[in-house]
Chains A and B, each alone.
Chain A
Amino acid sequence: MIRIQCPFCGERDHSEFTYGGDGSIKYPALNAPIKDWLAAVFHRKNIRGLQLESWHHINGCRMWLLVERDTVTHKIESVRAAHIDFQKILKV
């Protein structure tokens, strides 16, 4: 079991969360070339090691989090709120 330090709720089991996938994806503008959208939707870095990913605390506070986690050891390096305004308020 991975334990995730939710900035709103404290440390919780990962089974309270759903995994959102690669958190480093920046979605392009709506009128961006189709090539950019193809890359954002379909192509993945698939990092072996430390990656930024999103988790949704679906059975808790229902907030989206950004988590830095190692994909081999599952060790978590950092957790922060996904929304920039919450990051400012919580200072994490």
Chain B
Amino acid sequence: MTRFSAWNVIKNGLSNQKGWDRQWQDCEPKDQYDVVIVGGGIHGLATAYYLAKNHGIKNIAVVEKGWLGGGNAGRNTTIVRSNYFQPGNRQFYEHSLKLWENLSHELNYNVMFSQRGHVSLLHSPSAIDTAARRYNTMRLTGSDAEIWGLKKLKQKIPHLNYNVNARFPIMGAAVQKRAGTARHDAVVWGFARAADQRGVNIIQNCEVIGIKRDKGKIIGLETSRGFINCKKVGFSAAGNTTLLWNMAGLGELPIESHKLQAFVTEPLKPLLDHVVVFGVGGAHFYISQSDKGGLVFGGDLDSYKSYAQRGNLPIVQDVAECATSILPCLGRVRLLRHWSGTCDMSMDGSHFICKTPLKNLYLNAGWNYGGFKAGPSAGWYFADLIANDRPDGVIANHDLKRFERGINIDERGAGPDPKLHG
């Protein structure tokens, strides 16, 4: 594998780019693996990478039914932040943010992580108080957080709609400066390349179509490319988790699949150098500008349960209304594309990284629409769970039985209704 370095870039620049290898091998599935991860997105590939790196496991495969990063890894708005409040969540996401900060070096792959700052707009004194409580708690966890007054916000992002007669006038912002965006494909490819380098087999176009069980244990996976025997199995399949769960004959999950859209406009000259979030009075909107210049943004779920990876028009209108209400300068910008991913919405808005009723099956699911930022950390803790067969303290409550114990890790306080989280 040719390392990416200044020297190699110059050398290949002078030799017609002939010196580069394949980024990862196109593997035929073997008969048997120690660990098989189902799902070749950021989470699955990160899990395989950390299994190999942190736990020295050699014989690992990642099976993906389509192409790498073609699911939610390629369908999000690429925001990375750790402004979570609930115990467990805030340590988890802060760990993720720390991994992000060193990810390009770790993987020898430029994931284009840009810590441009995450600015959540605040519209009332009580919202400022609530944000202060949340952001103080983040500081106690060792994260960074600050509250900006109107004067500072106007200096930093002058072209927001500061009209005092707006329906929800802007009064300040809660800011995490270390947060930002990353390049979604690069993260997937970086993890794939680094995992491949450590001997992980990455098998694309390999759909799991059946699961062979012997009582409380999985023997192997029936796939579109043949039967694979496995000692341990990890599900990391986001919106399609329920389908795998049914194949394993395990009943119902506290998860519903909903779809979330994202949007990009035509490329513009530099306009917005922060991630801006607008969420008040039913509006929900987040926007950043990609390195290509397109404004990337999104809003709420499409309102009804769905496995279709295509969005509906009422949300296009809803999001466009939000966009023009906080950034009126976007009024004449044209929308280039919009797309949709199938999100595994959980009953309390938090994730599951846990053991399952089957002895050698592990679950990583329930990411709602926050899975992108969690990728590195999810891989880290999921690998730790699979290797050691016990959850780390940080994810101790992120199991399927927490509702039975009366524990809801509900950041939004929305109750057991999947469509309301996110």
Interface residues of A (CB under 8 A from B): 1-2, 13-15, 18-19, 21-22, 38-39, 41-46, 48, 51, 53, 69, 71-74
Contacts and interface: CB of A to CB of B under 8 A. Distances in A.
Contacts, number: 71
B419 interface: yes
Interface of B: 242-243, 251-257, 303-308, 312-314, 347, 403-404, 416-419
A21 B305 contact: yes
B255 A71 contact: no
Contacts of B403: 38, 41-42
Nearest to B240: A48
A1 B312 CA distance: 6
A72 B419 CA distance: 17
B292 to A, nearest CB: 30
Which 8 interchain pairs have the tightest Cβ spacing?
A43-B252, A46-B242, A19-B304, A15-B314, A42-B403, A42-B254, A48-B307, A42-B347
Interface SS of chain A: mixed
A22 B305 CA distance: 9
A74 B416 CA distance: 24
B418 to A, nearest CB: 8
The residue among A43, A44, A73 with the most chain B CB atoms within 10 A of its own CB is A44
A80 to B, nearest CB: 17
Contacts of B243: 48
Contacts of A41: 347, 403, 416
B255 A21 contact: no
B305 A71 contact: yes
A43 B417 CA distance: 11
Contacts of A48: 242-243, 257, 307
Contacts of A38: 403-404
A54 to B, nearest CB: 11
